[in-house]
Amino acid sequence: MKKTLIALCMLFVAALNVQAQEVKASQETEAEKQARAMELMAIKIDMEVNKELFMQVTQNTYVSEEPKAVIMAMIVPETYDNAKAKLEGNMPPDFKVTNKGEKMMNGVNVIYMEGTAEAQGTKVNSTIYCLKRDADSCIMFMGMSEVGADKKYTDAIAAAANSVVKKQ
């Protein structure tokens, strides 16, 4: 199930990273774009995670087996405006949005989306935050927890998100 939840997170990222058809002045090749995306995703995100509830599986990914939950953060090669447009239009069809918009969090403007999805028969609550990192990249935070999970897991996800969303 750990792999399924991580795959679901990656599906969200893939939906965001679908490259626009616009031509950039720099004329980056597809290979250059992919190399930059991999380079950015390898950067460690400063994040506080409750390690009594979540175990680390990669540099920026933490999971809980029971209940099923995931915390994941990464840097994506998108401008804030492009990320906002993609989050509004490119979500997987099985993701049911319950709340979305922009808000201030820790003095930072963030795009957020909340909803539910299903992975291998397990329904999960999902939260996504996106904040501007620099002119060409954003930090994405995703937290997912099994519907009905103890409040301490949703609180831990919120605390991890809060630790990621801060002024750069």
Q: What is the pLDDT of residue 27?
A: 61
Cβ burial 102-132 (10 Å sphere, 16+ → b, else e): eeebeebebbbbbbebebeebebbbbbbbbb
Task: Name the residue type at position 166.
Answer: K
Take residue 163 and report the two structure tokens written for it: 């630790």
Q: What is the pLDDT of residue 126?
A: 93
Q: What is the pLDDT of residue 9?
A: 52
CB 60 within 8 A of CB 50: no
Alpha carbon distance, N-terminus to C-terminus of the chain: 34
Q: What span, in angstroms and rounded, lies between the C-alpha atoms of 147 and 139?
A: 25
Write down the pTM of the prediction: 0.82
Backbone angles phi, psi at 47, to 5 degrees: -150, 135
Q: Digits of tens for pLDDT over the chain (168 positions)? A: 455 455 445 545 544 444 333 434 356 687 887 888 888 888 999 999 999 999 999 999 999 988 999 999 999 999 999 988 888 776 777 889 999 999 999 999 999 999 998 877 889 999 999 999 999 999 999 999 999 999 999 999 999 999 999 865
Q: What is the pLDDT of residue 91?
A: 75
Q: What is the pLDDT of residue 20?
A: 38
The torsion region of residue 23 among left (phi > 0), alpha (psi -120 to 50) and beta comes to beta
Q: Which domains does the chain have, with CATH numbers?
A: 2-20+44-164 (3.40.1000.10)
Paired strand residues for 148 = none
